[in-house]
């Protein structure tokens, strides 16, 4: 059983680490265009061949992973830290002010993440910062709602009442008693949201509203090669495989996190 758990957690982490740090082992410059070697089949110099501009496909895949997974990792790190702290601090027994704030939060989180992306792209133009801010803001609000709701449920449990009776302050109860019980829920939410973030980044890049013209990412690679799918299917299939593996890894991590946990007393 322990070996299975290690594979369930270690396998996805290894895949994501390869996607994020694989650019360190890129065999060629992903930006270098060699028109004399356009659409070369896989060989020793180009393990996965070249694209229509003679650029190394493998190198561009690895650098695209750094871009896509890097944005997702940075955004989720900010969301996890700020979202948990904010959600815990605003959690309190229900009153009129709490009901009003919860109604506003429900209305804001009802807006789909894609709407945030469209608004920010229209205001600031496409780019890495725009994508990062839009995705982070959307997930941040949703995580606040999750943490706030779960914390308010935990406040009614016996171990919290015992801690309050023994003289523990509000912050100690929130961060020492309640927070450990929310970690598995937060990890599951973050992992599943990461998969959605990858698909959102790839989807907007595919339609030309992604990270910019000079940024390498999987969505733009699929977009650039979809016209040659019949004659050179690898140019489209390779980034699709990386997208599939990364999203699957996030889902597996989320499922592994959902099996862990338990109440802290």
177 closest CA partner among 155, 198, 145, 153:
155
Residues 130, 219, 207, 203, CA torsion sign: negative
234 closest CA partner among 54, 1, 39:
39
pLDDT band at 191 (very low <50, low <70, confident <90, very high): confident
User: Which of residues 100 and 64 earns the better pLDDT score?
Assistant: 64
Q: How many CB atoms lie within 10 A of CB 76?
A: 22
CA atoms within 13 A on the CB side of 79: 30
Question: Does CATH place domain 1-261 in 1.10.12.10?
Answer: no
> What is the model's pTM?
0.82
Q: Give the model confidence (pLDDT) of 161-181 as tens digits.
A: 887 777 777 788 888 888 888
Q: How far apart are CA 259 and CA 189, in angstroms?
A: 13
Q: Give the model confidence (pLDDT) of 220-231 as tens digits.
A: 888 888 888 888
Which of 35-44, 91-100, 116-125, 152-161 reaches the highest mean pLDDT? 35-44
């Amino acid at each position: 059983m322990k070996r299975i758990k290690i594979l369930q957690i270690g396998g996805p982490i290894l895949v994501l680490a390869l996607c994020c740090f694989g650019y360190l082992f890129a065999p060629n410059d992903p930006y270098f265009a060699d028109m004399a070697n356009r659409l070369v089949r896989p060989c020793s110099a180009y393990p996965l061949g070249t694209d229509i501009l003679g650029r190394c496909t493998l190198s561009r895949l690895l650098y695209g992973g750094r871009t896509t997974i890097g944005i997702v990792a940075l955004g989720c790190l900010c969301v996890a830290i700020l979202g948990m702290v904010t959600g815990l601090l605003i959690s309190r027994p229900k009153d009129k002010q709490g009901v009003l704030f919860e109604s506003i939060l429900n209305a804001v989180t009802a807006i789909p993440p894609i709407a945030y992306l469209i608004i920010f792209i229209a205001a600031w133009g496409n780019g890495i910062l725009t994508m990062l801010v839009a995705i982070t803001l959307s997930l941040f609000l949703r995580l606040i709602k999750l943490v706030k709701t779960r914390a308010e449920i935990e406040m009614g449990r016996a171990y919290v009442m015992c801690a309050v009776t023994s003289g523990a302050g509000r912050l100690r109860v929130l961060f020492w008693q309640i927070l450990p019980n929310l970690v598995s829920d937060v990890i599951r939410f973050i992992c599943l949201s990461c998969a959605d973030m990858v698909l959102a980044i790839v989807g907007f890049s595919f339609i030309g509203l992604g990270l910019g013209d000079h940024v390498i990412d999987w969505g733009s690679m699929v977009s650039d090669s979809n016209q040659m799918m019949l004659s050179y299917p690898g140019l489209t299939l390779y980034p699709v495989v990386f997208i599939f593996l990364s999203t699957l890894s996030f889902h597996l991590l989320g499922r592994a996190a959902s099996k862990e946990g338990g109440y802290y007393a």
